[in-house]
Amino acid sequence: MAANRQTTTGLQEGTEGAEELYGLSWRAVILAGLFLVLSLIWIKIAGLVGHGAQLGESVPVVPAVGALLVLTLLLPLFRLLPRWLRLTRPGVLLIYAFLAVAVSMSSVGVARMLFPNSTALFYFDTTENNFSEFQQYIPKWLIPGQDPEIIRQMYEATDNEPTDVPGWVVSWLVVPWSAWLVPLTMWTLLLLAAFIAMMSLMTMFRRQWVERERLTFPIVHLVMEMSGGDQPATALSFFKNSAMWVGFGIAALYNVMNILNAWNPAVPAMGRQYDLGALFTERPWSAIQPLGIAWRPENIGLGYLVPTEITLSVWVFYLLLRLANVMATAIGYEPAGFPYVQEQSFGAYLALGVFLIFVAREHLRHVWRRGILGDRSVEDSAEPMSYRGALIGLVIGVGGMMWWALAAGMAWWTAGIYFFLFLLFALVYARARAEAGAAMIWLFPFYQHKKMMIYVGGSEVFYRHGGWSNLTIFSLLMFLSRGYFQSMMAYQIEATRIAEVGHIRQRVMTWWLVAALVLGLAGAYVIHLQAYYMHGANILEGGTTQGGYRTRLAVTEYEELSSFMRGHTEPDRGRTGAAVAGVLVTTALIGLRTVFLRFPLHPLGYAMVTAYGGPLWGPFFIVWVVKTLVLRLGGMGMYRRLIPFFLGIVVGHFFTAGLVWGWLSIINEMYRRYVVHFG
């Protein structure tokens, strides 16, 4: 059986790894905690108070890559220690998986979007925007206490800061923890329910993707190569490869030159992108803008592991979308937002989600037979959860999300559609990471879950069948669609693959990820509230007096809600039509690939490029050209020999732009000179 093979293979690595094979060692737990604390301090200084690098927005998150790099290089030294102090490869992989989830909670797509979304309605209330009309629909258990000063001080910093205690003590004392305890607990329950629902869904699809379809998991390949590859006993085999160091050096040189150029413009540098659109200045060709090739080393490196049909599809569809804009301009059809790219992505993701369920229908029947009927012919001992547990977990997770929304005042049908789209898009995004490995956290139709529901039905239907309470909670939960919490399902499926290849028990990894979520959320709450009450949320994350980007998103959301009171919006036929077009194009591509097995365009490429194609198409075009030439001139042998070179590009970029610059940028506000964007 699979479980027996996993155990037998693991025991061959030696008895020193047995503790990690069957469960967590205390060494892995302590080191994971220490790295998390260090990461939280780093994110608070460099990403929240400063604005030099979004360390939790990268894929994988920079602190997780840093921990993997440091611990792997130290593994030979660990082997010299007494057995009770040794850390082995499974322990290193567990720490990486823990940080990938935990650190993400502190980034711009989760906690940093949650706080302004839950408080902006109160702080930014004016007579002009009528926010006060909607405050009554926010339950008391979702806001910090009854005193408006608590929220005001969050945005403007506390007025009575103690002066006779150390600074780190002050950051604890200024936060009104008792007022925030209940709201943060309730938000944690919602996110935990969503995490359990995603993990249950992931368990149901894992075997279909890993064993039947044999997806490549490019990011997992990077992690496993960095931690020892096929020879984990040596641990450093990846770092002894000369081709890897060539790739590492190219990525490092690219970032170093950009940093030096930020200080002295006379230093030549590539910059962050090359704007091809600047070559087209006359109408209608000027409508092809934006058309920039973004220099994203991580996408070039990982893109080498992506099937060429996907890399081809990404750049072909991106150029077709830009040409569609040119043609529309030429005939005088120029509605705002055309060709509604993200709306097309909504349709593409919707069609792909349904297709993934259809393809897995036979396996899902086995899950049902084992989970409900107890069919012993279906094996699930090597799964992250038993199939019965997965079905129960899905019911508990979705039920918990629905209970939370209904208790807050949302209509059941609105919550049902919203959470269905949330989970379906999480599934498709996880598939994109497993098959295409694009290192982009925003690679899904973000914000479109909510917007398309308004576009299709108009706002009045949500008022007529739920009242202002329904619309208010709908806006309150905007951060679930505009943020990227649903991308955690990709980290979940990658963690199960890491567990399989790294000889870690799947059930151990499951509970480990749940612990990472809870502890990561707790840490995110702490660093954000400390920074807010010490400095004021209005001036953090690039803000001046009205908050940073995430705060402006929340205010805009509630301003739209307030506008509904003056007059409801009608259904948007143009954007709805674009979503329908996305469904039709994706369905057509699926049909063509079914009939013509060598059809070169892939529906996943279309879905990805419409979701967030600007930073993606250029790197994938470059790597498509290179990979095509390599395969035609040198065959699979040359392709395999060059893999370390391209992985070296990824490691070099994360090391230089993430680890080195991430720390240097916190010194003397150096972050203002050169801002590194991952994701």
* Structure confidence by residue, pLDDT tens digits, 433-468: 999 888 889 999 989 999 999 999 999 999 999 999
* Domain-located, residue 76: no
Tell me the pLDDT band of 8, cut-offs 50, 70 and 90. very low
- 292: β partners: 275
Which of 52-67 are b and which e, b meaning 16 or more Cβ less than 10 Å from the residue's Cβ? Answer: bbbbbbbbbbbbbbbb
Tokens, residue 51: 């604005």
In this predicted structure, the answer to whether residue 268 has a pLDDT above a threshold of 60 is yes
What integer pLDDT is reported at residue 187 of this predicted model? 97
Measured distance CA(202)–CA(204) in Å, rounded: 5
Average confidence (pLDDT) over 318-347:
90
Segments forming the whole domain that contains residue 582: 111-672
Phi and psi at residue 676, to the nearest 5°: -100, 125
Report the share of the chain in percent with pLDDT over 90: 63
Structural domains in the chain (count)? 1
* Domain-located, residue 604: yes
What's the sign of the alpha-carbon dihedral 282, 285, 291, 292?
negative
* Domain-located, residue 650: yes
In this predicted structure, the answer to whether residue 671 has a pLDDT above a threshold of 60 is no
Among 72-86, 611-625, 648-662, where is mean pLDDT lowest?
72-86
Q: Which of 523, 495, 393 is nearest to 110 (CA)?
A: 523
Average confidence (pLDDT) over 30-59:
85
**Is residue 201 a contact partner of residue 398, using CB atoms and an 8 Å limit?**
no
* Domain-located, residue 80: no
In this predicted structure, the answer to whether residue 402 has a pLDDT above a threshold of 90 is yes
Average confidence (pLDDT) over 399-403:
97
What integer pLDDT is reported at residue 235 of this predicted model? 59
**Angle subtended at Cα 519 by Cα 518 and Cα 521, rounded to the nearest 5 degrees:** 65
In this predicted structure, the answer to whether residue 165 has a pLDDT above a threshold of 80 is no
CA atoms within 13 A on the CB side of 470: 19
Residue 495: count other Cβ atoms within 10 Å of its Cβ. Answer: 30
Place of tokens 């220099």: 295
* Domain-located, residue 40: no
Place of tokens 């070169």: 600
In this predicted structure, the answer to whether residue 79 has a pLDDT above a threshold of 90 is no
Tokens, residue 126: 């004016």
Tell me the pLDDT band of 610, cut-offs 50, 70 and 90. very high
What integer pLDDT is reported at residue 141 of this predicted model? 94
Q: Write the secondary structure of 282-336 as one string of H (helix), E (strand) and C (coil).
A: CCCHHHHCCCEEECCHHHHHHHCCCCHHHHHHHHHHHHHHHHHHHHHHHCCCCCC
Tell me the pLDDT band of 48, cut-offs 50, 70 and 90. confident
Average pLDDT, the chain: 88
What integer pLDDT is reported at residue 263 of this predicted model? 79
Tell me the pLDDT band of 526, cut-offs 50, 70 and 90. very high
In this predicted structure, the answer to whether residue 234 has a pLDDT above a threshold of 60 is no
In this predicted structure, the answer to whether residue 92 has a pLDDT above a threshold of 60 is yes
Q: Cα–chain-centroid distance for residue 461?
A: 32
In this predicted structure, the answer to whether residue 2 has a pLDDT above a threshold of 90 is no
- Cα–Cα distances in Å, from 652 out to 639, 640, 660? 20, 19, 10
What integer pLDDT is reported at residue 182 of this predicted model? 95
In this predicted structure, the answer to whether residue 282 has a pLDDT above a threshold of 60 is yes
- Cα–Cα distances in Å, from 110 out to 63, 102, 157, 641, 665? 17, 11, 22, 39, 23
Measured distance CA(9)–CA(622) in Å, rounded: 39
In this predicted structure, the answer to whether residue 666 has a pLDDT above a threshold of 80 is no
- Residues 6 or more apart from 481 whose CB is under 8 A from it? 418, 421, 422, 446, 447, 448, 449, 450, 451
Tell me the pLDDT band of 230, cut-offs 50, 70 and 90. low
What's the sign of the alpha-carbon dihedral 161, 167, 168, 169?
negative
551-576 pLDDT, tens digit per residue, is: 899 999 999 999 999 999 999 999 99
Among 53-57, 275-279, 334-338, 594-598, where is mean pLDDT lowest?
53-57
What integer pLDDT is reported at residue 5 of this predicted model? 42
Average confidence (pLDDT) over 180-186:
96
* Domain-located, residue 342: yes
237, burial (CB in 10 Å: exposed 0-12, middle 13-18, buried 19+)? middle
- The CA radius of gyration of the chain, in Å to the nearest whole number, is 25
* Domain-located, residue 208: yes
139-154 pLDDT, tens digit per residue, is: 999 999 778 899 999 9
Among 32-36, 177-181, 259-263, 420-424, where is mean pLDDT lowest?
259-263
Q: Cα–chain-centroid distance for residue 243?
A: 30
Among 122-131, 282-291, 403-412, 535-544, where is mean pLDDT lowest?
535-544
Tell me the pLDDT band of 358, cut-offs 50, 70 and 90. very high
In this predicted structure, the answer to whether residue 16 has a pLDDT above a threshold of 60 is no
Average confidence (pLDDT) over 376-390:
91
- Residues 6 or more apart from 120 whose CB is under 8 A from it? 547, 551, 554, 555, 558
In this predicted structure, the answer to whether residue 641 has a pLDDT above a threshold of 60 is yes
612-622 pLDDT, tens digit per residue, is: 888 899 999 99
* Domain-located, residue 381: yes
What integer pLDDT is reported at residue 264 of this predicted model? 81
Average confidence (pLDDT) over 279-303:
88
Average confidence (pLDDT) over 390-394:
96
**Is residue 177 a contact partner of residue 152, using CB atoms and an 8 Å limit?**
no
**Is residue 456 a contact partner of residue 576, using CB atoms and an 8 Å limit?**
yes
464-490 pLDDT, tens digit per residue, is: 999 999 999 999 999 999 999 999 999
What integer pLDDT is reported at residue 232 of this predicted model? 56
Average confidence (pLDDT) over 396-415:
97
